[in-house]
Structure 1
Amino acid sequence: MSTSSSPSDKAASKKAPDTSPSDAEAGRMAWFSELSPRGRRAFFGAYGGYGLDAYDFYVLPLSMAAIGAYFALDNGQTGLLATTTLVVSAVGGALAGVFADRVGRVKALMWTVGVYAVFTVACGLAPNFETLLVFRALQGLGFGGEWAVGAVLVAEYASSRHRGRTLGWIQSAWAIGWGLAVLAYTVVFHLVGDDLAWRVLFFTGALPALLLIYIRRSVTDAPVAKERLQGADGRHGGPIASFAAIFRGRLLRTTLLAALMSTGVQGGYYTLATWMPNYLATERGLAVTGVGGFLVVQIAGAFSGYITGAHLADRLGRRATIQLFAVLSAVCVLAYSQVPAGWDGVSLLLGFPLGFCMSAIFSSFGSFLAELYPTEVRGTGQGFTYNMGRGIGAVFPTIVGFLSDSWGVGGALTFAAAGYALAFVALFGLPETSGTELR
């Protein structure tokens, strides 16, 4: 049976991260040049999928003020839209992970991209709040699974020496998708009235359908996954692990703690992602172009953070990198939310380190979660822990929505810091995995 080392065996099987001079000699893009041609195609497929995943997610937060006004919603109801998406994404992520282990990574990737594209467009057709809530929930099924499946696909192509950087670069696609969503938001809301603009923005969520053509024609599973699914004669003959396997034996502790870590990080992140546009528009009194300008600074910080975190994941280790940015993210949230009214220049400047830290913390996730599980349940384990954290962490935006009625949105945003503290503590129970070979 093809596996990676179990958490209890790390001391025997883990190799120290390779920091030899060959990295410098090969250049900073050695992680990419050492991928096989099939590995590069898988990278582009997963990168595009995750970028468009971000795009389709962000059309909701960016449209929340307009949607709230159109349907006469209070903050609790608009927060429920985001929470529902994230809660259902936990189900979608778990299903996609099992699907990836049973039928292959590429097929599961196509399924997730297709689902989130279709239902993002459907949201633009919603005649009332209840229908929008249902469509957004269904969008969450595909949204939840895409990252986990794409990350596993690329992790199995990447070498242990460069896996942190390779998967960290995949994470950077989120900033690209986020930036494209802000650009589309700025253009659409400038040209079209708010009552129609939010629908038009959802309609642009059809873009991922184009990616499906590329994935179908060009991307294949890595040999380590294909060998498990196929016997020597090419027939389906690999062992099929059950979902319950990640809750048995020594994997139980790993699964629970990894889900707890993910809950803290994603609870903090999605609180900020959901409410920041609303905070800038309502409490800071910024117009559409002003909100877009502030978010551009955060996005620039996010992209820089993803790349920096990717390199630190291989140099410092996965666990230390996540803990470092958990602390820094909490500090940035507290500082940003306490800037006095009228100090817009300070808020603008603080947007860069905030975006940097809250994004860099994710760069280690893809490699860390993949290395915690053996091949036959890698998709299941990664899909469940990442998305269960997203689903439970989804309660945070709703809590902030209700707290904002008495604390104000800015004050309620400090709740995100508690999520980062939770992740910091949970990581002490998980092993360092850098250097692990995925056999």
Structure 2
Amino acid sequence: MLDWYKRGTRVERMTFWGCFAGWGLDALDVQMFTLAIPAIVAAFGIDHTQAGAISAVTLVSSALGGWLAGALSDRLGRVRTLQITILWFSAFTFICAFAQTFPQLLAFKALQGFGFGGEWAAGAVLMAETISPENRGKAMGAVQSAWAVGWGAAVLLYAVAFSWLPMATAWRVMFGVGLLPAILVLYVRRNLREPARFSTPEKQTQTPILLQVAEVFRPQVLKTTLIGMLLGTGAHGGYYAIMTWLPTFLSKERHLSVLNTGAYLAVVIIAFWCGCMASAYLLDRIGRRRNIALFALCCIVTVLSYVMLPLSNLQMLVLGFPLGFFSAGIPASLGALFNELYPAQMRGTGVGFCYNFGRIASAGFPVLVGYMSHSMSLGAAIGIDAGVAYGIAMVSVLLLPETRGKRLRPTTAEKSAIPTNGADLALKSARSQR
């Protein structure tokens, strides 16, 4: 599994760790909110629907940020865009700690989302264009496992903060720690380089951003974009329906304490990491389509069992492992698949659009869970929403072509720069000696 890392170049390894750290710190900042929902509800006197609205607004803004960052990465470069987005989401996570009203927190979380969505879009394309085709699935799946690392760090921070500090202070301290990812920019500036495939043709740099995003609806890629939008919706909808409300489900319906909630989440998080690594292996073994469809089917069965069956606490602890394991497989696959569906000159735009459209469309799922919980149990609401979402993901991925092992196409500018015969090579050599 790790042979690709040993055989990789220094640039590949440095890029892997830069993106791994970025994605892990993204998870730290984002998962802090899901853990702090009960404290935020108490602090501002809001209900579950309003708490779900914060998550929804963050998802929508992260999608818009992903669209913008994807287009900017095609224009400014992958590495530069990555630096901008890391600084952005770090700063606004920190500012969330000082929110005094519900509308203020809503606005700060929305601004945080712009950077969060943009970081993934820039980092995913950077990874895809740096790693060799035969190892792309393994490397990008392994990068996705950083989410489990950041999530685990958030749970540890949650356990410490809420065990030692008053609830009204603890959630603010958690958001204050969110400034730490800004340090990662120093590593990115020193060690990461633009892929050789990246170029900024003069015509492209003059294209307005909105028109550049609209390129994903060109006839040549329209079908891919429409199906990719559905896949992103199902993948994100299922994940956020579960993970936004899981801590609240454990504490309010299962009546677990802070430390016990952390123990149950620890099982899910460790399983999530294992699921990412398994998906990374299967991506290059059985292909992108089969892998996503398999994990989506398993997600439906597992989440319905977890939240709807009359399980004991011990049984829930055991079932938490497959819940986390299977929920990891789809997000670990999307980066490789979406990058392989688009040509280089619009790759960042296409990847950012499909992945982040799913965030916009899925923003309704956490809100719907909160709304449905007024007329049914929270567990039932989570199960119904997640089951529908994963069903959408399973059907849509089967409509896409298999892209395993595909070489990413160079831009038009790069094609024209490649000598086509011996005479061209000789001419190029002669010119370089002058």
TM-score of the two chains, using structure 1 as the length reference: 0.90
Q: What does residue range 384-423 of structure 1 map to in structure 2 within 5 Å?
A: 384-414=353-383, 415-423=385-393
CA deviations over 1:385-410 (Å, ceiling 9, x no partner): 00110111111000000101111211
Q: Distance in 1 between matches of 2:253 and 2:72?
A: 44
Residue of structure 2 aligned with 1:369, choices 324, 338, 346 = 338
Displacement of 1:339: 3.1
In the alignment, which residue of structure 2 is the partner of 1:12?
A: none
Q: Select the structure of larger CA radius of gyration.
A: 2
Distance 1:220 1:238, change over 3 A: farther
TM-score of the two chains, using structure 2 as the length reference: 0.91
In the alignment, which residue of structure 1 is the partner of 2:422?
A: none
SS in 2 for 1:168: helix
Q: Does 1:54 align with 2:27?
A: yes
Q: Distance in 1 between matches of 2:113 and 2:235?
A: 19
Q: Distance in 2 between matches of 1:357 and 1:421?
A: 14
In the alignment, which residue of structure 2 is the partner of 1:345?
A: 314
Q: Does 1:299 align with 2:277?
A: no
CA deviations over 1:232-264 (Å, ceiling 9, x no partner): xxxx65855722221101211101101110100
In the alignment, which residue of structure 1 is the partner of 2:406?
A: 436
CA deviations over 1:272-304 (Å, ceiling 9, x no partner): 110000000100101100110000000011000
Displacement of 1:325: 0.4
Q: Distance in 1 between matches of 2:66 and 2:77?
A: 15
Identify unmatched segments of 5+ residues in structure 2: 410-434
Is residue 39–residue 222 contact of structure 1 (8 Å, CA) maintained in 2? no
CA deviations over 1:136-189 (Å, ceiling 9, x no partner): 000000011111211110111111111100100110000000000000000111
Q: Does 1:180 align with 2:147?
A: no
Query: Which stretch of the first structure deviates more once superposed, 294-303 or 407-416?
Result: 407-416
Q: Distance in 2 between matches of 1:46 and 1:292?
A: 27
Q: Distance in 2 between matches of 1:438 and 1:261?
A: 21
In the alignment, which residue of structure 2 is the partner of 1:210?
A: 183
In the alignment, which residue of structure 2 is the partner of 1:30?
A: 3
Q: Distance in 2 between matches of 1:34 and 1:245?
A: 37
Is residue 293–residue 398 contact of structure 2 (8 Å, CA) maintained in 1? no
Is residue 121–residue 205 contact of structure 1 (8 Å, CA) maintained in 2? yes
Displacement of 1:44: 1.0
Q: Distance in 2 between matches of 1:238 and 1:36?
A: 33
AA of the residue aligned to 1:214: Y
Displacement of 1:305: 0.1
Q: What does residue range 141-290 of structure 1 map to in structure 2 within 5 Å?
A: 141-225=114-198, 228-229=199-200, 237=202, 239-240=204-205, 242-290=212-260
Q: Does 1:42 align with 2:19?
A: no
In the alignment, which residue of structure 1 is the partner of 2:423?
A: none
User: Looking at both structures, which has the greater relative contact order when contacts are Cα pairs under 8 Å and sequence separation is at least 6?
Assistant: 1
In the alignment, which residue of structure 1 is the partner of 2:279?
A: 309
In the alignment, which residue of structure 1 is the partner of 2:71?
A: 98
CA deviations over 1:56-114 (Å, ceiling 9, x no partner): 00110000000001111111011111111001111000000000000100011111111
SS in 2 for 1:429: coil
In the alignment, which residue of structure 2 is the partner of 1:124?
A: 97
Q: Does 1:71 align with 2:44?
A: yes
The number of aligned residues is: 403
SS in 2 for 1:73: coil
Q: Distance in 2 between matches of 1:339 and 1:122?
A: 41
In the alignment, which residue of structure 2 is the partner of 1:109?
A: 82
In the alignment, which residue of structure 1 is the partner of 2:414?
A: none
Q: Distance in 1 between matches of 2:309 and 2:316?
A: 7
Is residue 339–residue 347 contact of structure 1 (8 Å, CA) maintained in 2? no
Is residue 55–residue 180 contact of structure 1 (8 Å, CA) maintained in 2? yes
Identify unmatched segments of 5+ residues in structure 1: 1-27, 230-235
Displacement of 1:200: 0.4
Q: Distance in 1 between matches of 2:338 and 2:106?
A: 31
